[in-house]
Amino acid sequence: MSREKNGMAMAGEHDRLLSIEEISRETGLEESVLRFYESEYGAELPDKILRGDVLSFPAVAVDAFRQLHARRTAASGATPKVAAAGSFARVIAVTSGKGGVGKTNLALNLAIELQRLGKLCLVLDADMGMANVHLLAGVNPSLSLMAVLNDQVAMADIIVEGPAGIGLIPGGSGLVALADSSRSERLKLVRALQQVELAAEIILVDTGAGMGAGVRDFLVAADDVLFVLTPDITSLADSYGLLKALHQERDFAGRPVYSVINMVHSLTEAADVAQRFADCARRFLGQEVENLGYIMKDATVGGATVRRTPYCIFRPQARVSVNTRNVARAILKREQPEIRLSSSFGRFLERLQGKL
């Protein structure tokens, strides 16, 4: 009888179906990490089973995910990918004239696609008002730049591994403090950021929207500035206003400026917005703005956000993911090897020293 009960219990365990959320609780792995493994190594995982109208994993998937994670962690530990010695990261500031244009989501997913294309990527969450890259990435950092400011930890200790192996630097309260901190604190933090430049190939800086505190310094210091616009007329007007304000900065001259048109319904709409922004910049500011592509409006983004998973991992073949991949390729085609010989955060440091 006892044997019968044990057999029934084992059968019940094997028949159990689990969602990604339940597997996350059992394995201790972030949902975004599990979804990344599912998209990249699906052939090595048990097939999902349809029960009702929901696809779920069988219970044996728990061990499969654990083994996959252990193998990948061991492999990355044995041969860690590092940036070329003595070269600085290419720093790209991702910005917008107004909020609500999908800037943060695009920055995160661009980093993942760039990482997949072979570049070691970091995302610096520099949005002082709405620091939420970690929420979209599905990670829960315990430390932010504030811990570096307070001498609790080194910069390397706050970098969190995100989906696809990208690095995330949580900004939050640390960047708010940077705006009002003492000279020594500001210099210390920027010097720490300089060290990060030597450990990555591309750093995407997710700035706050508009010309809020500290945004201008990040934009002027970056190697490239990428404007995210939508078809909304206020997005175009506010982005032009931000670009005009940047042109009043002596150090901004000659900086490459790019655009990506987000949430579009058609190619015609995307081309129209890109052309109007470029025409205004050229006519009134003498600034060339090159368009790197467009991102179609896609319900995939909302579904991924609810699940705290980047959309290019949630559904890698969705049109929004394919569009983002194309923008990432366009970014790589415009690499300038000579910029990696100097530090972007070094320029930031010079600006701070000149002001203080």
Q: Is residue 49 part of a domain?
A: yes
Q: Is residue 83 part of a domain?
A: no
Q: Are 63 and 191 members of one domain? A: no
What CATH number has the domain bearing residue 49?
A: 1.10.1660
Give bridge partners of residue 90 from the DSSP assignment. Answer: 202
Q: Are 317 and 350 members of one domain? A: yes
Whole-number Cα distances in Å, 27 to 54, 134, 302: 21, 20, 26
Q: Is residue 103 part of a domain?
A: yes
Give bridge partners of residue 282 from the DSSP assignment. Answer: none
The last residue of one of the domains, among 47, 78, 109, is 78
Q: Are 194 and 245 members of one domain? A: yes
Q: Is residue 84 part of a domain?
A: no
Q: Are 96 and 71 members of one domain? A: no
Summarize pLDDT for 133-160 with one digit per residue, the tens.
Answer: 989 999 988 888 778 877 888 888 889 9
Angle between helix axes 267-285 and 233-246 (nearest 10 degrees) is: 30
Cα–Cα distance between 276 and 88 in angstroms, integer?
Answer: 34
The last residue of one of the domains, among 36, 52, 78, is 78
Q: Are 175 and 208 members of one domain? A: yes
Q: Are 241 and 286 members of one domain? A: yes
- Contact between residue 143 and residue 150 where contact means Cβ atoms under 8 Å apart: no
Q: Are 20 and 98 members of one domain? A: no
- Positions in the chain whose pLDDT score sits under 50: 1-12, 76-82, 85, 356
Summarize pLDDT for 45-100 with one digit per residue, the tens.
Answer: 888 888 777 788 999 989 888 888 777 665 544 333 445 545 788 999 999 999 89
Pick left, alpha or beta for residue 28 (phi over 0 → left; psi -120 to 50 → alpha; otherwise beta). left
Strands 202-207 and 160-161: unpaired
pLDDT at site 2: 42
Task: Look up the domain containing 338 and give its range.
Answer: 90-355
Domain count, the chain: 2
Q: Are 226 and 333 members of one domain? A: yes
What CATH number has the domain bearing residue 203?
A: 3.40.50.300
Q: Is residue 183 part of a domain?
A: yes
Cα–Cα distance between 120 and 111 in angstroms, integer?
Answer: 9
Of 255, 256, 276, 220, which Cα lies nearest the Cα of 333? Answer: 256
